[in-house]
Amino acid sequence: MSGLSLSLGLGLTRRGGGGGGPVFPVLAEDENADVTDITDDDVNYTLAAFTVTGSLTFSTGGEIEVQIIGGGGGGGGASGAQPGGGGAGGEFVKTTVTVTASQYNIVVGPFGAGVSGSSDGVSGSNSTLIGSGVSLTARGGGAGGRGAGGNGLNGGSGGGGGANNGSAGSSTASDGVGFAGGNGFPSSGHSSGGGGGAGGVGNVGGYGGDSKHGGPGGAGLSSTITGSATFYAGGGGGGTGFTAANGGTAGDGGSGVGGDGSRHNGGAGAGAPGTGSGGGGGAVSVSSANGSTAIQYVRWRR
């Protein structure tokens, strides 16, 4: 009886053989979605993944799970010996909504770029899911501030402040979650703050009280929407103006998906692909790194 569909009226279809269970939607058409069948915790789902902007059209309505994340912010550039702050992860939105027999449009917000020289990074762009009765926005992550007092930019999570007293960016999350970045080390210190993540704030420059340590990025959040646990929306680490030989330690990216910050003459890391994470801050003679674009997911029971 598992293949039986019973009409319930109102354009809905109940799958699985009756008995007052949940109502599942039926997909009629998709644009730019990678649609597969998965199992999570012994429950069968259809999963639609979007790496570019697209849409889903349902022939009948029901409940869907949505996970959308804004693009990760880029790290800030260095100004002389003073490194830039880490970029922030995008706002993390995960919720259940009810759809009707209509089209739903998914916008995939691009990542923000890292920079060379004394400039703030570029913030990530918003991701959205909009259709009949549903309007969700995941704001892009704020960029890291440049060295020499550059402030982190506001976003889904806030970017880290640049060295020499740069202030952290704040979270503007509304539909989901995000956190502020970390401040740069005060006065003439040579370490910057980490970007905020979806699971926690970025750390200040001079992590652990040592001016040679860039601030780690804020933690991301774990999700099993694909059937496997994965972290998303981690903050990028802040840079340090010191070399490894002089005890300099760049800030780690949040939860292993945010990009690592850079040391003097050592490269910064980009946000992990598909996760909406922030890029690492730049340092002396080193460009900051790009954030990453998130894959947007929608799934429903089958």
pLDDT tens digits for range 99-153: 999 999 999 999 999 999 999 999 999 999 999 999 999 999 999 999 999 999 9
Average pLDDT over residues 275-281: 98
Residue 190 has pLDDT above 90, yes or no: no
What dihedral angle (degrees, nearest 10) is formed by the CA atoms of 48, 54, 58, 64? 50
Of residues 1 and 254, more confidence is placed in: 254
pLDDT-based confidence at residue 189 (cuts at 50, 70, 90): low
Share the mean pLDDT of the chain.
92
pTM equals: 0.93
Of residues 15 and 275, more confidence is placed in: 275
**Burial of 172 (C-beta count, 10 Å sphere; 0-12/13-18/19+):** middle
For residues 297 and 210, give the distance between their C-alpha atoms in angstroms, rounded to a whole number: 41
3-state SS, residue 35: strand
pLDDT of residue 7: 28
